Amino acid sequence: MKTALITGATSGIGKATAELLAKNNWRLIICGRNAEVLSQMKADLSVTTEIFTLNFDIREFSQVEKAINLIPENWKKIDVLINNAGNAHGMDSLENGNIDDWDAMMDGNVKGILYISKLLIPGMKAQKSGHIVNISSTAARQTYANGVVYCASKKAVDVISEGMRLELTEFGIKVTNLQPGLTETDFSKVRFKGDEERAKTVYQGFQALKPTDIADAISYCIHAPKHVCISDLTIYPSAQAESRTVYKNA
Ligand code: 8X3
């Protein structure tokens, strides 16, 4: 039975991925900031598989380190790390940008991936196998006005994925960089600080991706044969060609 560690597992793409992998017989270490949701998920998913939960904020290295140190011996062989945690905060021009929003995006989307990967890579290298799946975004492919810092944080994920591949391929570790387009989760609600009406406008008039669509893609990548590495994967809703138009009036 293989083990996957999923960050940001309590909602959206992370939760859908945990649910799918649990069904497919993976043991899961599910991580997130919401202790209540984590324990509910543990109760629900333990019916089908073994679940270990880690409650921490990925933006704080000391918390990440403390959490990783809590992983028991019999859970230490991690086959797949899914770096899913991340969010957009605010939608502003650079001159009007909120510094706390910028810090939250850089700390969560960029440094969070670095922190947890730094701590788990040694184990993967020692076992000479592993797979790291980094959830980037189509925002890394095309910058849009008023989302520049978010786009930059996701561009950084692309670069980190490429760098990981350069450093880890020789150790039998695969790296997948996955760029989802508009996916209907709490993403826009968080970006617009709880403004549900504004969040809904982003997904109006077309069928956005569902978190389960991305979970399916992650599952495809991590179930590929040993000699196959899906290195980069971009997924748009069929109705989306780019993001600039979508966010022009958001
Ligand atoms: C999510 C995709 O286009 O909303 O990262 O930035 S987009």
Cα(137) to ligand 1 centroid in Å equals 6
Strand-strand pairing, 173-180 and 51-55: unpaired
Which of the listed residues 179, 182, 191 should we mutate to test ligand 1's pocket, taking the one with most ligand atoms within 8 A of CB?
182
How do residues 147-190 score in pLDDT, each as one tens digit?
A: 999 999 999 999 999 999 999 999 999 999 999 999 999 999 99
Pocket of ligand 1 (CB under 6 A): 137-139, 181-182, 243
pLDDT at 249 over 80: no
Tokens 């403390």: give the residue. 66
Predicted ipTM > 0.90: yes
Q: Are 136 and 214 in contact (CB under 8 A)?
A: no
How far is the centre of ligand 1, averaged over its atoms, from the C-alpha of 62 (Å)? 29
The answer to pTM > 0.95 is yes
Exposed, middle or buried, 31 (CB in 10 Å: 0-12/13-18/19+)?
A: buried
Return the closest-CA partner of residue 113 out of 52, 176, 58.
58
CA separation, residue 35 to residues 8, 31, 54, 57, 156 (Å) = 12, 9, 8, 11, 29
What gap in Å lies between CA 102 and CA 80, rounded to an integer?
29
Q: How confident is the model at residue 32 (pLDDT cuts 50, 70, 90)?
A: very high
Q: In angstroms, how far is CA 98 from the centroid of its own chain?
A: 23
Which residues are CB-neighbours of 52 under 8 A, at least 6 positions away? 27, 28, 29, 30, 71, 72, 75
- What distance in angstroms lies between residue 142's CA and the mean position of ligand 1's atoms? 10
Catalytic annotation on 247? no
All structural domains of the chain, each given as residue ranges with its CATH number in brackets, are 3-248 (3.40.50.720)
